[in-house]
Amino acid sequence: MSIEIKNINKTFESKKTEKLSVLEDINLHIDDGELICLLGPSGCGKTTLLRLIAGLDHPTSGEIVANGEVVKKPSGDRAVIFQQYSLFPWLTVLQNVTFGLEMTKQGSKEENIAAAERYLTSVGLIDFKDSYPHELSGGMKQRVAIIRSLLNHSPILLMDEPFSALDMQNRHKLQEQLIGVWKRFENTIVFVTHDVDEAVYLADKIVIMDKNPGKIAKIVDVGIERPRKRESAEFIELQESIVENLDMGE
Amino acid sequence: MFDNYKNKFIPFIVPIILIFFWYLITNGMGLFSSYILPGPIDVVNSAWTVIENGKLLTNTIDTLFKVFAGLILASVIAIPAGILLGWYKTLEDLCTFVISVLRPIPPVAWIPFSILWFGIGTLPAVFIIFMGCVFPILVYTIDGVKRTDKVLVESAQTLGANDWNVLKRVVLPSAVPYVVSGLKVGIGIALMCTISAEMIGSSSGLGYMILTATNLFDTGTTVVGMLVIGLIGLAFDFVFTKAQDRIFW
């Protein structure tokens, strides 16, 4: 599913301050099956843009078209994986994973459970299928959240810094697994991050954003063949050139 | 192992000392007449009498029946209403003033009307209990619904859940711990209300038993009634605390 972002503006209004322009004139085309990273400093509106694509917030002007339809509200076609852990604490891992299938009434119960078990096996979480989220580590929780969206056959995955709370080792492992499932399922992925290394490792295209107001500064085609090696010359080179261009402004 | 033994013994030290001094100043030294302050032996004698003639059991069952009737009635109304008010902001804004004014009125203040409307018997007591626990349950439920984690609601939406499913599958389960807290508070209030209501507008129950016993100078039975109320409260608290422990989220 392709995504077309047309002339998006988003301003927040509050009583005390004047209008705050968060996103200004955003135009972006995302191809079907593409993996895009939105990269920028905090406050550049990258999460806001992701929420607009998801339909969780509404643009002040402009429109977003996903697979030929204007986005008006959230849908099972566009799954969001949040930075905060978002598993339902009162459901087991297996029940969490099949939640979307129940909501969208896909498949019989037996089929769904079998599919869920297959997916959980593929990421090494099958032994935890009857565990509750509070018994899992952070990395496991995010893997379950990703499985939950994949199993729901969401053609678009919107990921909001999903690995930022993990330690480096786990982060690298999950990035690798994400590339694995993306190749297998050919989802369109929009991945928000403030980590240059993560963007260079994952993305087909990196959309670099500026803040105040949030707008697209530059689009970089990564063009490094996968599997990417962090120690390769081209990886380091690209990373450095992005860091130079990027005003992280912390 | 010794620690474990010690810890189990500790809660009983103070009650044993208290009972000993109680015995000392009453039955032991006879400082008070048994009418003004009955001693432990008087109480045990009274307890034996009311157990033997079945009065304690029937009155306890009667009181518990009222407590449950009032509590169930209040839950049936307050939990659905709380879900609606917590979910629809406009509805809450419409009702918040009325709730804020009615809520601080002590339930016993409804006794005159409860007698006027329902006469003497079980019904006025149930009404008082209802008035006592409907507001805590309502307010806790509203709070629980409103505190539903936004990320969970949004996750469900992006997994394809419609509004009804969000309410049923996300908001309700996440409000459960708050509803249980509301019930726990409600049942404590209900017990207090029951006794007050029974003393005024009733002809049965532990409150009635306490009052009639006192009028007959049988204050031993009064103490028995008071202790049973305390033990019932303890039992309820135990059950609800266990229920809360089982809810781990």
What residue ranges of chain B have pLDDT lower than 50? none
- Phi, psi (deg, nearest 5) at residue A226: -95, 155
The answer to whether A212 faces chain B, any CB pair under 8 Å, is no
- Rounded to a whole number of angstroms, the distance from the CA of B246 to the nearest CA of chain A is 11
Q: What is the pLDDT of residue B201?
A: 75
Q: What is the pLDDT of residue A26?
A: 93
Cβ pair A78:B158 closer than 8 A: yes
* A65-117 tens-digit pLDDT: 998 899 999 998 999 999 888 999 999 999 999 999 999 888 888 999 999 99
CA distances from B229 to A198, A225, B43, B60 (A): 64, 76, 15, 9
The answer to whether A92 faces chain B, any CB pair under 8 Å, is no
* Continuous segment of H or E residues that includes residue A3: strand A3-12
Residue B246, token pair as written in the block: 């089982």
Residue B155, token pair as written in the block: 């996750």
Residue A250 has pLDDT above 60, yes or no: no
Q: A145: buried, middle or exposed (CB in 10 Å: 19+, 13-18, 0-12)?
A: buried
- Rounded to a whole number of angstroms, the distance from the CA of A157 to the nearest CA of chain B is 10
At A184, which amino acid appears?
R
Angle, CA of B13, B14 and B16, to the nearest 5°: 70
* B190-249 tens-digit pLDDT: 888 888 888 887 889 999 999 999 999 899 999 999 999 999 999 998 998 888 888 766
Q: Are A9 and A163 in contact (CB under 8 A)?
A: no
- Rounded to a whole number of angstroms, the distance from the CA of A154 to the nearest CA of chain B is 8
CA distances from B23 to B17, B26, B32, B40, B49 (A): 10, 5, 11, 6, 20
A224 SS3 class: coil
3-state helix, strand, coil in chain B (%, to 5): 85, 0, 15
Alpha helices in chain A (DSSP H): 46-54, 93-97, 99-103, 109-122, 138-151, 168-185, 196-202, 233-245
Mutation target among A52, A103, A112 for the B interface, most CBs of B within 10 A: A103
* A112-168 tens-digit pLDDT: 999 999 989 888 899 999 999 999 998 899 889 988 988 888 899 999 999 988 889
A191 SS3 class: strand
Contacts of A47 in chain B (CB under 8 A): none
Counting one residue from chain A and one from chain B, the pairs whose CB atoms sit within 8 A come to 69
Is the ipTM above a cut-off of 0.85?
yes
Cβ pair A88:B152 closer than 8 A: yes
Q: B246: buried, middle or exposed (CB in 10 Å: 19+, 13-18, 0-12)?
A: exposed
Average model confidence (pLDDT) for chain A? Answer: 90
Beta-carbon contacts of residue B248 (< 8 Å; ≥ 6 apart)? A89, A132, A134
**In whole angstroms, what is the distance from residue B95 CA to residue A234 CA?**
64
**In whole angstroms, what is the distance from residue B108 CA to residue B201 CA?**
11
pTM of the full structure: 0.82
Beta-carbon contacts of residue A145 (< 8 Å; ≥ 6 apart)? A81, A82, A85, A86, A87, A162, B155
Q: What is the pLDDT of residue B203?
A: 84
Residue A218 has pLDDT above 80, yes or no: yes
Q: What is the pLDDT of residue A17?
A: 66
* A53-63 tens-digit pLDDT: 999 999 999 99
Q: What is the pLDDT of residue A204?
A: 95
The answer to whether A84 faces chain B, any CB pair under 8 Å, is yes
**In whole angstroms, what is the distance from residue A96 CA to residue B155 CA?**
11
Per-residue DSSP letter, B109: G
Q: Are A38 and A199 in contact (CB under 8 A)?
A: no
A25 SS3 class: strand
